[in-house]
Structure 1
Amino acid sequence: MLTDREDELALLKDVLRAARGGRGSATVVSGPLGIGRSALLHAAADRASATGFRVLRAAGSPLETDHRFGVVRQLFDVLVGRTPAATLHRWRADVAEYTEWLFADFPAVSDCAVPPAPDGLHRVLRALWVLLGRMSADQPVLLVVDDLQWTDEESLLWLSHVAKRITTSRVAIVAAVQEGTDSAGHRLVREFGRGAEHRLRPGRLRPSGIHAMVRERFGERGDEEFVRACHEVTGGNPAYLAFHLAELAADGRRPRAAEADAVRSARPPRLGDWLTHRLISMPAVPLRLARAMALLPESAWDGPAVVVAELDPETHLDAVRALRRFGLLTYDTPARFTHPMVRTALEESMTADEQEALRLRTAGTLHGHGHRAEEAAGQLIAVTPGQGPWATRVLSSAAREALCSGRPEAAARYLRRALLEAPETGTERAVLLADLSVAERDFDPPAALRHLADALALLPTPAERAAVAVGFSPATLAAAPPRVVERVRTVAEDLGDPDDLTGPERELALRLRARRHYLALMDLSDPRSRPGGPGARTPDPDTLLDTPAERELAAVLLHGAILTGRTTAPEAARLGVRILEREPAVSGHLHTGLSLLVSTLAVAGVPAKVTPWLESVRSYDWGRMSPAARSLLCVEEAWVMRASGRLPAARARVLEGAASGWAGERFGGPSMALVAGLALETLDGALAGCLPPADGARADGAASGCPVQGLVAGAVAAGAGDLRAAVRHIVDCGRRLERAGWRNPALLPWRSAAVELHRRLGDLRQAAELAEEDHVRALAWGAPPAIGRALRLRGELTGGDAGLALLQEAAEVLDGAEDLLERSRAHFSLAQRLRGADDSAARQHERSARALAEVCGVRWAAEQRRAEPGGPPYLVSGGGLTLPEIQAARLAAEGMTNQEIAAAADVTPRAVEKRLTKVYRKLGIGGRGDLAEALELLAGPER
């Protein structure tokens, strides 16, 4: 069924009616690729057959333009064997001599019997016209010729001969011409066009026409958004649309608004094959320009394209006009390809040698015209190595551009290609390896650390090696293979003691000291290996805060002091704030020891001190950050949310970070501690997927680097109802960490979680012993949230006035604390204790508890707590999304299609659909359009 062609069909109907009445005419249907010329010819033929016409069909071919009378032979071929001999004899009376070849059993078309006389050709043309006229006297005739531009000259002469004479006959001609080809401008094609009475140039489909095609394909009306997407992608080209709809239908999709993204992202392979085949008929010069444009970014189509295609300005303009007429370029300003598959077809139409030569010319032209290095590098990575130093320079510059825009994977591709141009040894290779390690740091740490080790082995001076080594954060190096750690230690020794150095070398030495200190801190195998002496002291803020390197070392040393219980919360908060005040709010801190400051201030009970700083980092740098860097920032924000009591928001932010590419194994310390702490406080086993296994080693020789996995395993067991296994996991892991020197009760609150589990199991003695220990540790630490939690736990375990006094003290200690959830817990426990003795006070405390919990995004559920002893003491709002669901939701909210999400997650589009459906149900939203707002609310107000 033809759609949106009412005017054209009406004209063809009038043409046939007139021809039947003895007023024949010729009609030319022209237009670009895929516009539906052939469809109109078929419609005319079908109409003619239905109304009593004899229909003679033929089609030109670019491979048969030298076959004399080839198209004429096709037109009359239908008569051979189907027309009675008597009828043929009557039609050929007096012209048989000049038409015998037309009806031979096995005619040789190239050897047509054209008399050698000067007027021989004219006699054949006239004889064929006489034959046609006699046929039309018996029955009106319609000649249908597709691809007229590829018709042989003799057939064109005859068609023009007929077109000039049919105005008083019962013969009509309908011929189609593909615009934009050299043959379309042939003298005889133009002559036929001038002699034609009618010209049709069908336009692109309107929305109503697209609606009709959608209904025809799917048997139902398409949603407006679906139809709008079809129009955007195909531009209303009927052929493009037909391929798209066929592809979607084959995938089992329906014309719904939810499938609009699938329409936009679809790249039908059959459309690519169809386009590639059609390119064979392209004129050489426009095709050369189109291929150059296919390799160039659209911003370079005006200048560099002319150079790459080796055209002068006038020829370039002619070629652009031809490409528009052919249907490969739009008439917009600036122009663009009429479909994304046009670019693909153009690339695939070239041989390997043609493509390599054109890519090299393209890269050189872009580089010479001052375009971005990435645009030139995109060509170089597709050609064989051996292009010389200029290629290495371009690829290195492109890698820097990609890193600055937050695309480390692209940077790594450029650098890997540059390494193929570099010598096997030497400084040039070392620099490339170092740059590659920095690029891979964000998405492939094992590879980054391998390349770091290779670079350290090749760089000539200790200072150069140190500059590369400090590009990796202490937490990342803590998960490195032994050979990398050993080389970093060797670099520090080669560079020397910071006290003996000055200037940049002293800064590097201080940064290396920070990393060595952290490496020793994370080595739980031998507590005696920890650094002692001056290097282990909490730094004096007046002597180690002047330079960036001093502040990084101070942050690492302070973290160690907090972890091992060698400082107090007030002192840690004071020093942490002093460091933070001197540091700019930029994302560069994420790959240094300064990232430890956020967790320091969080566990010190002053998260509000760091909140504005993190907000500035997100505001200024988020758009330029890589996915992995964003995940690290999510971890820091989650620390602040957890310390503020907003556990649902913290959980959501951790899962968002994990969906962005983070893993505990990758970034170590603060991330592991955060996940473990959240798991302990929420008993949420889903967080286990954010950490690597507790034991074993990786394939690259590095330890798994997750000493807190046992705490998360306890949360998983508690969630499954196995409380004894849960408490065993948690206590065993906690004791092991304490033996290794990790003593801070706020950083990893394992005792409070074990107290809660023991109590639910009825093991009140063990719960009381752990609560006493926790109180002692909390008093030594000195942070109100930790002290208040310990007092509350003791008060809940202690009966009578003593227990009430402990709960009242907990509420007093927590009054004004930034951990609103711990304040809410204290009020709730106090309300429970006062109920029946002082109902008025109990109601007041319960109101306070509920108000604070609401701010935190949780709700108390005392009944559930009593009914389900294995569950958490509160219900966390937020939908309970799994990690894969969070990832799919986040990518969908950013505008990615289901196919793009599937490619990113290495799953099928169907799996993505199922995940998103679960997300919509859990969050109570209508669909993709509500995701961004729902995820924002889930994360909390400090997004």
Structure 2
Amino acid sequence: MVLRERENETELLSAALDRASEGGGALLAFSGPFGIGRSAVLAAAAAAARDRGARVLRALATTAERDIPFGVLSQFSCCATDSETGPDFGTMRGGLLASPDPVLLVVDDLQRADVESLRWLDRLCAAVADSAVLVVVAHRDGEQAADPETFQRLLGRAARRGELRPLSPGGVAAVVRDVFGVPGDERFTAACHRASHGRPFLLNAIAHGLRDSGRRPQESDVDAVWSLRPSVVAERAGAVLRPQPEPVLAAARAVALLDGAEPDQLADLAGLAPAECAAALAALAALGVLVEPARPRFAHPVIREVVENTLEPPELAEWHRRAARLLQRADRPAEAVAEHLLASDATQGEWTTGVLHAAGRRALDRGDVATAIRCLRRALLACPTAGTERSVLLADLAEAERSGAPVASMRHLSQALPKFDSDRRRAEALADVPPMLLAVAPLSLLAELEEFRAREELDPAVLRAIDTRIRLARLGDPAWCADTRELFDSLVPGEHVDPERVSVLLYSATLTGGDAESVLPWAKRAVAGEHGPGAAFGAVALAARTLAACDEVRAAEQWLAEVTAALGARGDRAAERLIVDAERAFTVVRSCRYPEAVALAESALRRCDPGLIPVVERCFEVLSIAVLDSADTGSAARALGRHREWDHAVQPWVRELRDAALAVSVRDTVGGLEHLLECGRERDRLGWSNPCLLPWRGWAALLYHRVQRPGPAAELIAEEYRRAVAWGAPSGVGRALRVWGAITEGEPGVELLRRAVEALDGRGPAGTVELAKAHLMLGRRLLCSDRAEAAARLNEGDELAAACGVPRLRAAEEIAAEGGGAQAELTRAELRIARLVAGGLGNQQVATELGVSSRAVEKHLTKVYRKLGVTGRAGLTDLADSLDPA
């Protein structure tokens, strides 16, 4: 290893070696604080001496051998002659002094040498001037030697005593280049200089640790410089601190808990007199463990951990309790006191609650939610079970928990409400309940909302907010849903209405199948100015859902993207992000981008707690739509199956929809139909009739068609068409016509498909895939009567499908059109070959299995690929589940 900025020391050692080889021995002594690189200088001296042919003797004094006579000299025993009592070190000294060849004797950490070895070295160094012996020692200031008098006399014999200096910024940059092999970024090297204080040992530990963890010397890795905790530094610091007397250790522990505190505070915490503490701090500074003596702090953060580890957990907790009390008496900020209260293991009276509550509230205000929750939950343990303080504390905790623990948040808010000291404060807290979390609120909170709804003495704005939340929570009650719809119908165009309230009102109209033309302007107004991070929990998300149902999927996606961006650094598991992702999935599936919607929903479920019902329900809905609408029996069905047990609190219609999708995914047509009809009956009971939100009648009609029951199929799709026309979104009308045409034979079916194309043409992303489906179905119907138009329709459908990212749509739509499996167009021979190839057999293996030629297999496969709209074996494998052996 190259020594940087040690040229003076290197020249001094070289000159001393030259003189020693000429019979002019000497003693050189080097000193410096912890991590300054004394051992590296001694190692360089030993290497230089060997290169010159000198004999090198090295020893390291340790605390463990300090009480062993001649413990250091025993490391040179190879030079001593044995006597009856052991090695004869007196003879060894004489032999060294009489040696004609140069000898380098090196002792590291001299301050830890045993008394006998110190005295032997002292006598040796008194006589080296006329010998070929060069003695080089290194020692650390701040440690008491076993024999202080001899130790100082020995150092006084040194021809030169050098205190090693820290590296300059240029020296640090050179070491960084040595370690990484490339020059470091200016900010990176500056951080390394500050973190190591220019001490080579610390610097090398940091640089090598960063390099070994895959970091590079660039600006993006500057934070890693400060977060790294090199184990080698911890080990060396522990070795320095362990032998220190108790007052020095007590002062170190005080610094560990009160980093940067005034000396009198450190003395108070350490239980030392001011003068005794000052002496202990001076010793730590001399050792190099501390820097900035006026406001002491450790030379590296890992040293703090080493010091704390010298205490058993109960002892450390007691130190933290004393530190908290000391800072509280000194009127230090609540956050500083709370840090120690959180690290202790018991409360200390009512003052604890106030400190922790204040610290938690401040952390919440600055966005440090994790710290806020820790402080507030701990404050709750010390808080009396009655009183206003507990109610405010519970409310603040509920606010802090919204993102990470929404169910607990609503529970704590419901516990807080009865303890508020006035109805006004209770009402204001109710008016601030996040609308999108009402589904996870306890019944007691909903009862509180009901109670305050009629309190006419309260502020009108508060009453409206409470009423809005009640209406959202009661949308599953047919009477409430109808009443809320009537409120929407009574709105006057241009009237100013709170975006949250109008979102709930217009969503009731969307659910009950009003008309898109009347709700669309209100929905656009609602989302226009509400896209901050708080919008994720707000009812305005319902307006975005309405936009999607009105075929305004681009506007809905744009608003959700703005809300997502506003969430900033909130983690993937934050409730706001999960809610927005679930709503995005619904918007995406409305535009028939099934793979993207499935990925969003599946990701949200993986990150979601089962108790976050709004997200679970929305994701189940999206995945079910993907299965039922796109013949997806893969990822969507697997995601539903993995989370099947998450149905303990979802609404019955969601449960039935999921079970219908799972049944259809395994080709259980009858089971799927039964569950789908039950889902529809439940939604009809609620009064939720809009087919653009859930086209269950169209799916059921296709399943009825599959089991050859044309009567119920026609009734269902006729009703869906009527409701779609009433709502007025082109995608819903065109979809109903497309399904109606699929289940209708002959020319009437062709006419319905033509009307579907006309309804969907040029209507935007919500209808593009439906338009592709309609073209493909119409093209197939026309193959026997007008092949030219049929080809044009099929080509148009293929192009639209490919543009939407669903190139296999023709195969899926041919399945739906026939009401059967993927084998609808395959002959018996083609089906057998398709199943064997999908199962992984090669052409020759299939030929052997069926007793035909390989050429025959290839010809049949060519037809299979064309009929199913796939390009090769991989596409055929994807359709394996739909190749029904029946």
Could you state the TM-score of these two structures normalised by the residue count of structure 1? 0.68
Corresponding residue for residue 520 of structure 1? 474
Which string of whole-angstrom CA distances, capped at 9 and with x for unpartnered residues, describes residues 596-635 of structure 1? 2221222122234445544443444534688221222223
**CA distance in structure 1 between the aligned counterparts of 2:12 and 2:90, rounded to whole angstroms:** 25
**CA distance in structure 1 between the aligned counterparts of 2:371 and 2:86, rounded to whole angstroms:** 65
Matches within 5 A, 1:84-233: 84-85=82-83, 132-137=93-98, 142-151=104-113, 156=118, 159=121, 162-163=124-125, 165-178=127-140, 195-197=158-160, 201=164
Which string of whole-angstrom CA distances, capped at 9 and with x for unpartnered residues, describes residues 446-470 of structure 1? 4333323322333344433333344
1:560 aligns with 2:508: yes
1:793 aligns with 2:739: yes
Letter in 1 for 2:241: L
Q: Answer yes or no: is the 8 Å Cα contact 1:184–1:190 preserved in 2.
A: no
**CA distance in structure 1 between the aligned counterparts of 2:285 and 2:605, rounded to whole angstroms:** 47
**CA distance in structure 2 between the aligned counterparts of 1:9 and 1:859, rounded to whole angstroms:** 74
Q: 533, 550, 565: which one pairs with 1:604?
A: 550
**CA distance in structure 1 between the aligned counterparts of 2:382 and 2:49, rounded to whole angstroms:** 67
Q: 413, 433, 437: which one pairs with 2:374?
A: 413
1:654 aligns with 2:656: no
1:688 aligns with 2:649: no
1:591 aligns with 2:537: yes
Letter in 1 for 2:759: V
Q: Answer yes or no: is the 8 Å Cα contact 2:105–2:135 preserved in 1.
A: yes
Which string of whole-angstrom CA distances, capped at 9 and with x for unpartnered residues, describes residues 269-317 of structure 1? 7864554343335698997776566556xxxx66x56675369999999
Corresponding residue for residue 116 of structure 1? none
Which string of whole-angstrom CA distances, capped at 9 and with x for unpartnered residues, describes residues 296-351 of structure 1? 6xxxx66x5667536999999999998787565799xx999665533322332346
Q: Answer yes or no: is the 8 Å Cα contact 2:357–2:379 preserved in 1.
A: yes
Unaligned runs of 5+ in 2: 825-873, 875-886
Task: Identify the structure with bigger relative contact order (alpha carbons < 8 Å, sequence gap 6+).
Answer: 1
Which string of whole-angstrom CA distances, capped at 9 and with x for unpartnered residues, describes residues 357-386 of structure 1? 456546875997886x54543332223554
1:628 aligns with 2:575: yes
Secondary structure at the counterpart of residue 107 of structure 2: strand
Corresponding residue for residue 519 of structure 2? 572
Corresponding residue for residue 433 of structure 1? 394
1:495 aligns with 2:452: yes
Which string of whole-angstrom CA distances, capped at 9 and with x for unpartnered residues, describes residues 25-77 of structure 1? 3344545545664576578779989968483735153994xx6xx67564168
1:55 aligns with 2:17: no
**CA distance in structure 2 between the aligned counterparts of 1:432 and 1:689, rounded to whole angstroms:** 41
Aligned in 2, Cα 1:207/1:413: closer, same or farther, shift over 3 Å? same
Secondary structure at the counterpart of residue 645 of structure 2: coil
Q: Answer yes or no: is the 8 Å Cα contact 1:795–1:803 preserved in 2.
A: yes
Secondary structure at the counterpart of residue 805 of structure 1: helix
Shift of 1:808: 2.7
1:24 aligns with 2:22: no
**CA distance in structure 2 between the aligned counterparts of 1:26 and 1:705, rounded to whole angstroms:** 88
1:400 aligns with 2:398: no
Secondary structure at the counterpart of residue 309 of structure 1: helix
Q: Answer yes or no: is the 8 Å Cα contact 1:474–1:518 preserved in 2.
A: yes
Secondary structure at the counterpart of residue 584 of structure 1: coil
Letter in 2 for 1:710: E
Aligned in 2, Cα 1:502/1:434: closer, same or farther, shift over 3 Å? closer
Letter in 1 for 2:465: R
Aligned in 2, Cα 1:364/1:335: closer, same or farther, shift over 3 Å? closer
Shift of 1:518: 3.5
Letter in 1 for 2:464: L
Letter in 1 for 2:384: P
1:744 aligns with 2:699: no
Shift of 1:807: 2.5
Residue identity (%): 29
**CA distance in structure 2 between the aligned counterparts of 1:840 and 1:440, rounded to whole angstroms:** 64
Corresponding residue for residue 464 of structure 1? 425
Corresponding residue for residue 841 of structure 2? none
Corresponding residue for residue 73 of structure 2? 75
Aligned in 2, Cα 1:620/1:601: closer, same or farther, shift over 3 Å? same
Aligned in 2, Cα 1:670/1:128: closer, same or farther, shift over 3 Å? closer
Secondary structure at the counterpart of residue 174 of structure 1: strand
Letter in 2 for 1:518: L
Shift of 1:430: 1.7
**CA distance in structure 1 between the aligned counterparts of 2:163 and 2:781, rounded to whole angstroms:** 90
**CA distance in structure 1 between the aligned counterparts of 2:590 and 2:823, rounded to whole angstroms:** 18
Secondary structure at the counterpart of residue 622 of structure 1: coil
Higher mean displacement: 55-64 or 805-814 = 55-64
Matches within 5 A, 1:634-713: 634-658=581-605, 661=608, 665-667=612-614, 673-678=621-626, 680-682=628-630, 683=632, 684-688=636-640, 693=645, 695-696=647-648, 703-705=649-651, 707-713=653-659
1:278 aligns with 2:278: no
Which string of whole-angstrom CA distances, capped at 9 and with x for unpartnered residues, describes residues 415-465 of structure 1? 111113321211111221222223223322343333233223333444333
Aligned in 2, Cα 1:838/1:366: closer, same or farther, shift over 3 Å? farther
Secondary structure at the counterpart of residue 26 of structure 1: strand
**CA distance in structure 1 between the aligned counterparts of 2:707 and 2:177, rounded to whole angstroms:** 65
Shift of 1:521: 3.0
Which string of whole-angstrom CA distances, capped at 9 and with x for unpartnered residues, describes residues 466-525 of structure 1? 333444344533344xxx31x234423542516x3452xx333333333333333336xx
Letter in 1 for 2:445: V
Secondary structure at the counterpart of residue 276 of structure 1: helix
Aligned in 2, Cα 1:241/1:733: closer, same or farther, shift over 3 Å? farther
Could you state the TM-score of these two structures normalised by the residue count of structure 2? 0.72
Shift of 1:834: 5.4
Corresponding residue for residue 847 of structure 2? none
Higher mean displacement: 676-685 or 422-431 = 676-685
Secondary structure at the counterpart of residue 521 of structure 1: coil
**CA distance in structure 2 between the aligned counterparts of 1:767 and 1:139, rounded to whole angstroms:** 113
Aligned in 2, Cα 1:711/1:489: closer, same or farther, shift over 3 Å? closer
Letter in 2 for 1:22: G
**CA distance in structure 2 between the aligned counterparts of 1:367 and 1:759, rounded to whole angstroms:** 81
Higher mean displacement: 636-645 or 286-295 = 286-295
**CA distance in structure 2 between the aligned counterparts of 1:389 and 1:542, rounded to whole angstroms:** 55
**CA distance in structure 2 between the aligned counterparts of 1:638 and 1:335, rounded to whole angstroms:** 55
1:455 aligns with 2:403: no
Corresponding residue for residue 803 of structure 1? 749
**CA distance in structure 1 between the aligned counterparts of 2:440 and 2:511, rounded to whole angstroms:** 18
Aligned in 2, Cα 1:845/1:531: closer, same or farther, shift over 3 Å? closer
**CA distance in structure 1 between the aligned counterparts of 2:599 and 2:70, rounded to whole angstroms:** 74
**CA distance in structure 1 between the aligned counterparts of 2:642 and 2:311, rounded to whole angstroms:** 47
Higher mean displacement: 153-162 or 512-521 = 153-162
**CA distance in structure 2 between the aligned counterparts of 1:655 and 1:184, rounded to whole angstroms:** 69
**CA distance in structure 1 between the aligned counterparts of 2:815 and 2:14, rounded to whole angstroms:** 81
Q: Answer yes or no: is the 8 Å Cα contact 1:129–1:162 preserved in 2.
A: no
Instruction: Give the CA RMSD over aligned residues.
Output: 5.6
Shift of 1:785: 1.3
Q: Answer yes or no: is the 8 Å Cα contact 2:721–2:737 preserved in 1.
A: yes
Secondary structure at the counterpart of residue 98 of structure 2: helix
Aligned in 2, Cα 1:59/1:623: closer, same or farther, shift over 3 Å? closer
Matches within 5 A, 1:710-859: 710-719=656-665, 725-755=671-701, 768-814=714-760, 815-819=762-766, 820-833=768-781, 849=797, 853=801, 856-859=804-807
Shift of 1:826: 3.7
Which string of whole-angstrom CA distances, capped at 9 and with x for unpartnered residues, describes residues 519-568 of structure 1? 33336xxx6x75665786435323996464xx534433432333233x22
Letter in 2 for 1:570: E
Letter in 1 for 2:133: V
Q: Answer yes or no: is the 8 Å Cα contact 1:23–1:166 preserved in 2.
A: yes
Unaligned runs of 5+ in 1: 86-102, 107-126, 215-220, 697-702, 874-921, 923-943
Aligned in 2, Cα 1:493/1:349: closer, same or farther, shift over 3 Å? same
